[in-house]
Structure 1
Amino acid sequence: MENSEIDGLNNKKTVSGYRYLGYLRKYLLLFIGTIITAAGLELFLVPNNIIDGGVVGLSIMGSYLVKVPLGVFLIGLNIPFLYLGYRSIGKAFVAASVFSIISLSIWTAVFVPVREITGTPFLAAVFGGIITGFGVGIIIRNGGSLDGTEMVAIILDKKTVFSVGEIVMFINLFILSSAGLIFGWDNAMYSLVAYFVIAKTIDAVIQGLEESYAVMIVTSCYNDVSDKLVNELGRGVTLLHGEGGYSGDPKKILYCVVTRLEIDKLKTTVLNVDDQAFVTIYQVNDIIGGRFKK
């Protein structure tokens, strides 16, 4: 066998190894996320009759009414949504979601005997919301889901004028209102607090605590500005070629990504070199590859 063929086989084995490790890491994080979510639900929210939105909220109410373990409802109510997701969204997403839902169902049963951490509803809503949101955020960030209503929202988004967020909000308002009829309106309001805390915590986990911003700079002094950004901020800069929409003159555009703490320094650096520079700054949710994280 020639050296080139041996190298090709070795490269394939390396790629397969990385892919296997990637799957292992993904499902390990999904597993950890379900443990954290189950702890938030069973140690804080469920004992105080506080619900989350979506299928989890419906499952908590169903479990309370018919005295069936929470995990049974989590699996049973999600089955039709998982079928829709399989047909419309993709196998990988559904596989990760099935694993997460089954794992959460098991861990909710494990945590039942441990109840409860606090009997104060407000504390339960806040701390339960933070813990639950942290766990759900890990699951979503790694390609899974616990909530079939999100799958419905993604499908309806393609067929209606409403966005995914608007559809999910409408469904959850209905679910949280139902909690008032079952648990009382005080608990429904605590559930609304928990839902808000969960949503904000999920955003923090998915987007990261350290906010990042993409910056585009249109300047005639692009070489000097680029050197300053590289040397003073330590950030990589990409040079884009553009054209003035009115004048038709060629333009050079600098593109880079900085953290929230570097925004003011970037503005000062750019304007000190070219006070006529045109700078646009917008937040980015995630960054993959490159030198930014380093």
Structure 2
Amino acid sequence: MARKKLKEAVQQKLESPGWQKILRISNQQLAITLGAALNAFGYVLFQMPYNLAAGGASGLGIIVNHLTGFSPGLFYFTANIPLFILGFFTLGKWRFLFTSTLAVVVFSGATEFLIVCMPTLFTQFPITENKLLASIYSGLLIGIGLGIIYRFGGTIGGTSIITRIIYNKTGFPMSQSSLYVDVLIIAVAGFVFSWETSLLAFLALLIAGMSADFAMEGASQMRTLMIITQNPEPLRYAIINELKRSVTMWQGKGGYSGEERTLLYLTVLRSRVYDVKFIINRIDPDAFMVVGVSQQTWGGYTMKKS
């Protein structure tokens, strides 16, 4: 009975008016559309003209286009059809289709559109003769596009479907299986084009991964601090009154000495870490502090001033 009441209470908390649900879903779909379009822009502008097949189904599309003349956008859409069918029965059916179809359709359609329109938009196309620049900027644009898609709960389809299925069936990490698949495609591109082109494609893949992480999480401005001390009260007082930050405290015991110690935990801006170090050096130089990167902070309690 208690579990039923708890379930009802949680569902009541999570329920929102219909217009809020529509607005949330609309924002999600708009962001996924933007991310997929940005992905296609980087793909057509910087990857296709230089045969930078940087893994995935889009990389295969460049290879197939070179060998057969088959359009990369159409190939990407066609290749995802059997993958969607496979994913439908193994990755959540309609929920999986809902979060993946839009990105694939927008990317494929935008790719076909940009292939036709891009040469007319720029007086010089390709816009640079430097393949290294093309590799860097393709990674940036495609990575940011992917990060936006992932941040709002979508996927770009392609080989990511295969890696998710492998993870669900075997527990093998998705990051590793995705890397192996992408490296295999890049290696094939090395035989088809050149090994220099293959190396540049791998560089684009690495930059895209870092850019996607940045777009998903943003630049970290926060730091989490753990301070182990035998003199907690002066440190607590100084942090609260000088930095205007609250702290969480709990007791511990030294594993070697067996002595009682207190651990202080707090989150501060990156620029305030120096101030905490100053306080520790002045009040308790024997304290031990660990600084960690906090990617996001949200919620919590407001410190009340006495």
What TM-score, normalized to structure 1?
A: 0.81
1:235-281 deviations in Å (ceiling 9; x for gaps): 443x2434427588775433222343333333333343322323223
**What residue ranges of structure 2 are gaps of 5+ in the alignment?**
1-12, 120-124
Query: How many aligned residue pairs are there?
Result: 282
Q: CA deviation at 1:132?
A: 1.5
1:164-243 alignment runs, 5 A limit = 164-237=174-247, 239-243=248-252
Contact conserved, 1:219 with 1:276, CA < 8 A, in 2? yes
1:41-72 deviations in Å (ceiling 9; x for gaps): 11111112112222221122223333232222
- Say whether 1:104 aligns with 2:104: no
Partner of 1:114: 118
Amino acid at match of 2:253: G
Q: CA deviation at 1:284?
A: 3.3
Partner of 1:5: none
Partner of 2:271: 261
Q: CA deviation at 1:220?
A: 4.0
Partner of 1:151: 161
Amino acid at match of 2:25: Y
Contact conserved, 2:252 with 2:263, CA < 8 A, in 1? no
- Say whether 1:275 aligns with 2:285: yes
The range that moved more, 255-264 or 137-146, is 255-264
Q: Secondary structure at the match of 1:216?
A: strand
Contact conserved, 2:76 with 2:158, CA < 8 A, in 1? no
Partner of 1:70: 72
Contact conserved, 1:51 with 1:194, CA < 8 A, in 2? no
**Alpha-carbon distance in structure 1 between the residues aligned to 2:246 and 2:69:** 58
Q: CA deviation at 1:223?
A: 4.2
Q: CA deviation at 1:92?
A: 4.0
**Alpha-carbon distance in structure 1 between the residues aligned to 2:191 and 2:17:** 55
1:4-25 deviations in Å (ceiling 9; x for gaps): xxxxxxx998544433322222
Amino acid at match of 1:244: K
- Say whether 1:29 aligns with 2:31: yes
**Alpha-carbon distance in structure 1 between the residues aligned to 2:141 and 2:87:** 27
**Alpha-carbon distance in structure 2 between the residues aligned to 1:12 and 1:185:** 53
Q: CA deviation at 1:177?
A: 0.5
Partner of 1:43: 45
Q: Secondary structure at the match of 1:73?
A: helix
Residues 221 and 76 (structure 1 numbering): CA distance in 2 closer, same or farther, change over 3 Å? farther
Q: CA deviation at 1:89?
A: 4.3
1:52 corresponds, among 47, 54, 58, to 54
Amino acid at match of 1:99: L
**Percent of pairs with identical residues:** 27
**Alpha-carbon distance in structure 1 between the residues aligned to 2:80 and 2:65:** 14
Contact conserved, 1:125 with 1:191, CA < 8 A, in 2? yes
**What residue ranges of structure 1 are gaps of 5+ in the alignment?**
1-10
